[in-house]
Amino acid sequence: MTNSETNKNRISVISIFPEYLAPLELSLIGKAREAGLLEIVVTDLRDFTTDIHRTVDDTPYGGGAGMVMMPTIWGEAIDQSAANSEAEIHDLVILTPAGELFTQAKAQEMSTCAHLIFACGRYEGIDQRVTDHYRSRPEFRVREVSIGDYVLNGGEAAALVMIEAIVRLIPGVIGNPASLEEESHTISEAQLPGALLEYPTYTKPPVWRELAVPEVLTSGNHGLIQKWRREMALARTRRIRGLTRE
Ligand code: ADE
């Protein structure tokens, strides 16, 4: 079931630091939740521990540094998160620097998911059998996802980044949907090599610290403005990302 059928997206986040997810109450995401466009449930992984120390990790088989998060605890947490949702399909996102790279195209795709579950790993990651087990269950779609080629202390910051990128694409969340269409990144992955970065933008005052706004923008000539913006976008793309198709 997609959100277009249910009209309500549900996002579950499972973490040993639920307080880390507090920003999900602010700004656009907070408003979308209040408006009933979106339901976000943050769960403390330690609620599923069974020992007095509330242990979530153990030493890695085969040796090596660091600790690995136990599949037993994760399994209980993910099962409960799925059981609490009415969705038929649960999209489980396991955050790891070893995952596929998150892109705008993936944000677009995920914005249509009825129930996204973000599993925020810490330490040396989550026992691989968690991914393997849920991949074998037809009611789950599992993705291991990285937000970039750098290593964070855990998946929480990555989940925040992804949720922000995803939620703003849910219909009704952004007041002016035209601003989404104009964005250079609203492109399919297939188009990526030819995608343009956004042109530079200006507002008042017309001169600031001896820097004037480019004259064309105050000319009132919309054709010229469009042409100039496209040239600027091309130049910026070439400079920052290398050659464009044109
Ligand atoms: N956990 C640690 N580093 C990460 C990254 N770059 N992306 C997603 N999850 C992570």
Query: Which residue reads 């466009």 in tokens?
Result: 37
Judge if the beta carbon of residue 158 lies within 6 A of ligand 1: yes
- Neighbouring C-beta atoms of residue 33, cutoff 10 Å: 16
Distance CA 88, CA 141 (A): 11
- Per-residue pLDDT of the chain (246 residues), as tens digits, is 454 444 579 999 999 999 999 999 998 899 999 999 999 999 999 999 999 999 999 999 999 999 999 999 999 999 999 999 999 999 999 999 999 999 999 999 999 999 999 999 988 899 999 999 999 999 999 999 999 999 999 999 999 999 999 999 998 888 777 777 667 555 443 444 558 899 999 999 999 999 999 999 999 999 999 999 999 999 999 999 987 655
Distance CA 110, CA 169 (A): 9
**Separation of CA 92 and ligand 1 centre (Å):** 15
Judge if the beta carbon of residue 97 lies within 6 A of ligand 1: yes
At residue 180, the pLDDT reads: 75
**Separation of CA 153 and ligand 1 centre (Å):** 8
Query: Full-prediction pTM beyond 0.75?
Result: yes
Instruction: Write the CB contacts of 156 (distance below 8 Å, at least 6 apart in sequence).
Output: 15, 17, 20, 21, 120
pLDDT in tens, 95-143: 999 999 999 999 999 999 999 999 999 888 999 999 999 999 999 999 9
Judge if the beta carbon of residue 45 lies within 6 A of ligand 1: no
At residue 182, the pLDDT reads: 67
**Separation of CA 157 and ligand 1 centre (Å):** 8
**Separation of CA 175 and ligand 1 centre (Å):** 31
Judge if the beta carbon of residue 87 lies within 6 A of ligand 1: no
Give me the residues paired with residue 145 across strands.
Answer: 100
At residue 185, the pLDDT reads: 56
Q: At what angle do helices 156-167 and 27-34 cross, to 10 degrees?
A: 60
At residue 183's C-alpha, the angle toward residues 38 and 239, to 5°, is 135
b or e along 66-99 (b: 16 or more beta carbons within 10 Å of the residue's beta carbon)?
eebbbbbbbbebbeebbeebebebbbbbbbbbeb
User: Which residue, by CA, sits nearest to atom 10 of ligand 1?
Assistant: 96
Judge if the beta carbon of residue 148 lies within 6 A of ligand 1: yes
pLDDT in tens, 203-219: 999 999 999 999 999 99
Judge if the beta carbon of residue 36 lies within 6 A of ligand 1: no
* Burial of 181 from C-beta contacts in 10 A (0-12 / 13-18 / 19+): exposed
Judge if the beta carbon of residue 155 lies within 6 A of ligand 1: yes
Judge if the beta carbon of residue 75 lies within 6 A of ligand 1: no
b or e along 133-171 (b: 16 or more beta carbons within 10 Å of the residue's beta carbon)?
bbeeeeebebbbbbbeeeebebbbebbbbbbebbbbbbe
At residue 4, the pLDDT reads: 47
